[in-house]
Amino acid sequence: MSKMILWLSLSIAGLVWAESKYTPQQLEARFYYDLGPAEVDVSSYPKKQQENYRVFAETCFQCHTLARPINSPIVERKDWRRYVQRMHGKTKIVAGTQISERDAEIVINFLSYDAQIRKVKNKAAFDAKSKELRLLFEDVQKERSRIQMEKDKKNIKESAPYTGT
C-alpha cells in the first residue's frame, strides 16, 4: 500500500514538473549560481591548473553540481579557503564523500586561479552572466511556488458538509 502511495506521489510530482518550462535540476537550484555552466574550458590554462581542474571536478561533484563554485561570486583565495574548509568538514559527516587535505589545497588553487581569469580579468562578462542567472533564478523561484501551489491544491480535502448537529 505505501509503495502505491509513493508511486502516485512521484507520478503527480513528475506531471507537475512535466508542465514546467524548467528542468528538474533548475527547479532544485538552491542559489542563482547553481543555474550557470557546470564546466570551465581549461584548455588555455597551464597544464598544472588543468590537472587541478580534474581534481576539483572529481572532489566537488561528490556533494553538489560544479556550477555552484564555478559561478559563485567568490574571488579571493582566503574566501575559497574558508568555503573549501567548510566543505571538507561536511565530507567528514556525509557517508561516501571525502576531501583529503591535499585535494582541498588543490581545489583552492584551482578555484583561486580560475576566479582571477574568469571573474576578475573578464569581470564584465562574468557580471553580465551573473545578472542573467539572478533573473533566471527569480523566475525559477516563481515557478517553484506555482508548482507547490498546484500540489497543495491537489492535497486539499473537502470538509464534510455541516449537518446541523
Instruction: Express each pLDDT in 15-25 by its tens digit.
Output: 444 567 999 99
What cell numbers appear for 149 in the block?
A: 501551489
pLDDT per residue over 77-127, tens digit each? Answer: 999 999 998 887 777 666 667 788 899 999 999 999 999 999 999 999 999
Confidence band (pLDDT; 50, 70, 90) for 61? confident
The pLDDT score that the predictor gives to residue 27 is 93
| Reported pTM | 0.75
Residue with the bigger pLDDT between 138 and 95: it is 138
Residue 54 has pLDDT above 90, yes or no: yes
Where helices occur in the chain by DSSP H, the ranges are 2-18, 24-27, 47-60, 67-71, 77-91, 101-114, 123-155
DSSP string for 76-116: -HHHHHHHHHHHHHHHTTSTT----HHHHHHHHHHHHHHII
What cell numbers appear for 24 in the block?
A: 528538474
Taking only Cα atoms into account, the Rg of the chain, rounded to an integer number of angstroms, comes to 21
